[in-house]
Structure 1
Amino acid sequence: MADEVWPVSDALAFLAGRWRVERTVRDLADDLTGTFTGTTDFTAEGEGLLHVESGTFEWRGTARPAERTLRYLPSPEVPGAAVVHFADGRFFHGLDLRSGHHVADHPCSADLYRGEFSAYDPDRWRTVWRVKGPAKDLLLTTDYRRDYRK
């Protein structure tokens, strides 16, 4: 996807709703590829959004249900930006899409997660996470398309 990025003045307003999700997970060290397909719902919760992702993760020929929950809150410092927390309340990363693109780092033990977020239009965005560490060498690419189906 070589699309031009699309500036987002309010990350939470942009994300609200249901999105179809397609993710490719590449283990670069072992030359393995897996996929996740499903949906992500961003629903109102307090001042922010509850992010609930659910679907099927296929890895090494085995498909299994997968899900995760995150919380997106308004950034206290940057109007229109958000801060993302894990379900247990720990900080994950910031998200400022005012230019249409954002890079965030998240250190996790000995690993570094570097995420790139790009918005393309009101109905499409992408994340690319590069994970490097002593035991990890991963590339996770996720495409989101707004799901208008009820």
Structure 2
Amino acid sequence: MSPESFDISRYVGQWRLERQSTDGATMAGLACIKRSGELFPYEEQGKLRLATGQQFAFSRSYYFVSEGGDLLSYFDPGRSQPFLHFHMRESTGEHSGKAVHYCGDDTYQATFRFERGVSFATEYVIKGPQKDLVLSTTYVRDSGIVDDAPRPELSVGFHADNTIP
């Protein structure tokens, strides 16, 4: 039996996320993956709690593209190069991939693991002159939502040129 190709469209929908950082910070919130043509906009938001107890709202967004079984991640869909390019591999129903991103003097080593459309996890090992931490995130489907309908909690709108308003 040949390996099954990775397809990000299986992960369209809303997800609950929990993130742990080796510096003691934790994050909890919601993430949403939508489909917009060949792009899969990703948006997350929630609450960040620092090791000191301080709490802040957080959010971030980027775009996924599935290409030949690989997963590409872009900050801006207009850029020609992804900031992460995962060569996805399949093993016993799970797809995983690794990628590296260089940001100035900092290095981000990322690992993504996707399990049969029901959960996924990410890990970023971040090293640099002022950084030395690991961010580990788990995602589980939110109430079984699997379609790409807009949600009141997270809603990414697009202009005609695919930029976020």
> When the two structures are superposed, what TM-score results if normalisation uses the length of structure 1?
0.81
* Aligned mate of 2:44, from 45, 53, 62: 53
Report if the CA contact (8 A) 1:20-1:146 is conserved: yes
- Whichever structure has more strand as a proportion of its residues is 1
Deviations 1:18-59 (A, max 9, x none): 1110000122xxxxx011101110011231211010111111
2:66 corresponds to: 74
CA distance in 2, matches of 1:41, 1:119: 15
Task: Mark the runs of 5 or more structure 1 residues left unpaired by the alignment.
Answer: 1-6, 28-32
If asked which structure has higher relative contact order (CA below 8 Å, sep 6+), I would say 1
- Give the aligned residue type for 1:54: Q
Distance of aligned partners of 1:88 and 1:58 in 2 relative to their CA distance in 1, 3 Å threshold:
farther
Larger Rg: 2
Deviations 1:53-73 (A, max 9, x none): 011111120111100010112
* Aligned mate of 2:28, from 30, 37, 40: 37
2:139 corresponds to: 144
> When the two structures are superposed, what TM-score results if normalisation uses the length of structure 2?
0.74
Q: How many equivalent pairs are there?
A: 136
CA distance in 2, matches of 1:108, 1:88: 18
Post-superposition shift, 1:14? 2.4
* Aligned mate of 2:126, from 122, 131, 141: 131
Post-superposition shift, 1:95? 2.8
Task: Mark the runs of 5 or more structure 2 residues left unpaired by the alignment.
Answer: 146-150, 152-165
- Give the aligned residue type for 1:45: S
Alignment RMSD = 1.9
Post-superposition shift, 1:141? 0.2
